[in-house]
Amino acid sequence: MGLPLASLLAENGARVTVCDVNEQIVDHIQRGQSPYEEPDLDNYISRNVKNGRLTASMDTTGSVKGCDAVIVIVPAWLTETLDIDYSILRAASADIGRGLTPGTLVSYETTVAVGGTRTQLIPVLEEESGLKRGKDFHVAFSPERVKANKVFSRLRATPKIVGGLDEASGDRALHLYSKYLGAPVINVETLEAAELSKLAGMLYRDVNIALTNELAAISECMGVDFGLVREAANTDGESSLLVPGIGVGGHCTPVYPHFMIKDADRRGVPQRLSTIAREINDAQPARHVARLAREWGPLENRRAHILGLGFRPDVKVDTLSPAYAIREALQEHNAAITIEDPMYSDSELEQKGFASARVGADPLDAVILNTPHSAFRNPDFQQWRASGVEAVVDGRAFWDPRTVEDAGLIYLGTGRDRADAR
């Protein structure tokens, strides 16, 4: 997410150096090329490298010297105990601190636990630089709020939240993003308020999805199409039910709620809804596999095929994709597992630990949709049935149940009952 941000800042007149520890990424940028797929990113990079406003380096410390502002957007992952791992953020902060000069603004965009910027990161800046927070340098927190494949549109339109170490830091951050980003900027005044604003949004999303997953499960038992229920319920202007599914993946939703959950436990104010929501959403892949075994038959030695490795449609990113949990659930049932995804080559899928196959071409018994890629929108269900497929788990309520069943297949959809059971 940092590279599109840097490219847009350069597009709007800033002189930007992108720093990374990966030499290949730096080399790509220096050649004016995007190191990964994101709409329009190639054009932004090429244009701004050519005009001298965008460059890349592996020397973070050297690049920081003399900068007006430094934006930090490196990963924060989970430890084995589901706590936030600050190690990459601390390492980046140390590199920044060694090059920090008086008057610089450091803006953190990586999602952290509330208080993390103040207690975990600013001390590293001080220790490595010998400078004092608030007196010699400024610090802000401004959470990243974009999505892969939609980064530039989100950067321009989504309000940018900022919160400062002090009033001067907040003002510096507001000025930086207002001038070089172009989106509306909301100053919530403190680091902690800005940190919580990001986590609050993530927790809302996770709890909302958990609610819809539970409503979908009961709808399946009652013979009700939850898709119709959801659309109707959301017309009152007060409900905003999100979409249920076979699992939640990505860098954010499966990870960031744990930052709040762990921190809240330490403070003695447990976040019960968020904790239960994580459990519900993590359980969806196994729930759907168990439903297949219950309503179709034992899965032992049956050929179960997963459609989609990516965690989002038409995006080549599989971070914490439900596909991995679906595989684990199928392994518990001793099924023979294959996968296909148009965004990945067979060798890439094999590197992820999957055997590849093609539904309709290879002999398969059941198909489980994980990722609603556009390439999967209109399959030939008749061909699937002719090739041996008997059951379909529509993990995203992506297909028309009647079309699937008219082809002679058992249809098990998220929030939908089997037609022959009605």
For residue range 193-242, what is the model confidence (pLDDT) as tens digits? 999 999 999 999 999 999 999 999 999 999 999 999 999 999 999 999 99
Tally of residues, the chain: 422
- The reply to whether 104 and 239 lie within a common domain is no
Q: What are 362's strand-pairing partners?
A: 359
- The reply to whether 150 and 236 lie within a common domain is no
- The reply to whether 180 and 219 lie within a common domain is no
Which amino acid is located at 130 in the chain?
Answer: G
Q: Total domain count for the chain? A: 2
- The reply to whether 177 and 258 lie within a common domain is no
Residues near 153 by Cβ (< 8 Å), separated by ≥ 6?
none
- Alpha carbons 257 and 335: distance in angstroms, whole number: 32
- Alpha carbons 334 and 299: distance in angstroms, whole number: 7
User: Between the CA of residue 367 and those of 107, 178, 363, what are the distances in Å?
Assistant: 46, 49, 11
- Alpha carbons 375 and 407: distance in angstroms, whole number: 19
Looking at 189, 209, 241, the residue that finishes a domain is 189
0.95 surpassed by pTM: no
Q: What is residue 115's predicted lDDT score, i.e. its pLDDT?
A: 97
Q: What is residue 149's predicted lDDT score, i.e. its pLDDT?
A: 78
- The reply to whether 92 and 206 lie within a common domain is no
Q: What is residue 38's predicted lDDT score, i.e. its pLDDT?
A: 86
Instruction: Summarize pLDDT for 270-280 with one digit per residue, the tens.
Output: 999 999 999 99
By residue range, what is the domain housing residue 89?
2-189
Looking at 125, 160, 189, the residue that finishes a domain is 189
Q: What is residue 148's predicted lDDT score, i.e. its pLDDT?
A: 79
Three-class secondary structure of residue 368 per DSSP: strand
Q: What is residue 422's predicted lDDT score, i.e. its pLDDT?
A: 46
- The reply to whether 174 and 219 lie within a common domain is no
Residue stretches of the chain with pLDDT short of 70: 418-422
